[in-house]
Amino acid sequence: MEQQAGEDLKGRKCFRCGKELPPGSLIYVTQIRVFAGFDGILLEPEEGIEQQLEHLLKQVEESNPEDLEKEVYQEFTLILCKSCRDRLVDEIEHPWEGPFQIRRGPGRFIH
């Protein structure tokens, strides 16, 4: 994982627009972590916990451990140029008014 991040840094291309980022230029490193959340609520299955456990164990046995790990936790390291960084931050702060919003004429809002 860490090695990969290092390679990404040397790639020096903006993840979003593909712009070359020559050495010494301003780059932004974005780290995204996606992991499974747990709200503390365990849903009691109809078939009973023991059967559910058996089910789960079987699933784990059949799954690729890497896939399983990815489902629980994944980390991305992205390199962005300044303008893509600005856009990303803007989209995170204002997800409802992103730059790709479909323009609607006045009076054409769907109710």
Residues near Zn ion (CB under 5 A) = 14, 16-17, 19, 81, 84
Please state the closest distance from residue 84 (CB atom) to Zn ion, in A. Answer: 3
Please say which residue, 17 or 60, places its beta carbon nearer to Zn ion: 17
Residues 6+ positions from 25 with CB-CB distance below 8 Å: 12
How would you write 20-51 as a 3-class SS string? ECCCCCCCEEEEEEEECCCCCCCCCCCCCHHH
Please say which residue, 32 or 42, places its beta carbon nearer to Zn ion: 32
Q: Please tell me what DSSP assigns to residue 6.
A: H
Measure the CA–CA gap between 111 and 101, rounded to whole angstroms. 17
Please state the closest distance from residue 40 (CB atom) to Zn ion, in A. Answer: 40
Closest CA to 84 of 17, 23, 11: 17
Please say which residue, 12 or 16, places its beta carbon nearer to Zn ion: 16
Number of other residues whose CB lies within 10 A of the CB of residue 46: 7
Please state the closest distance from residue 34 (CB atom) to Zn ion, in A. Answer: 22
Please state the closest distance from residue 82 (CB atom) to Zn ion, in A. Answer: 8
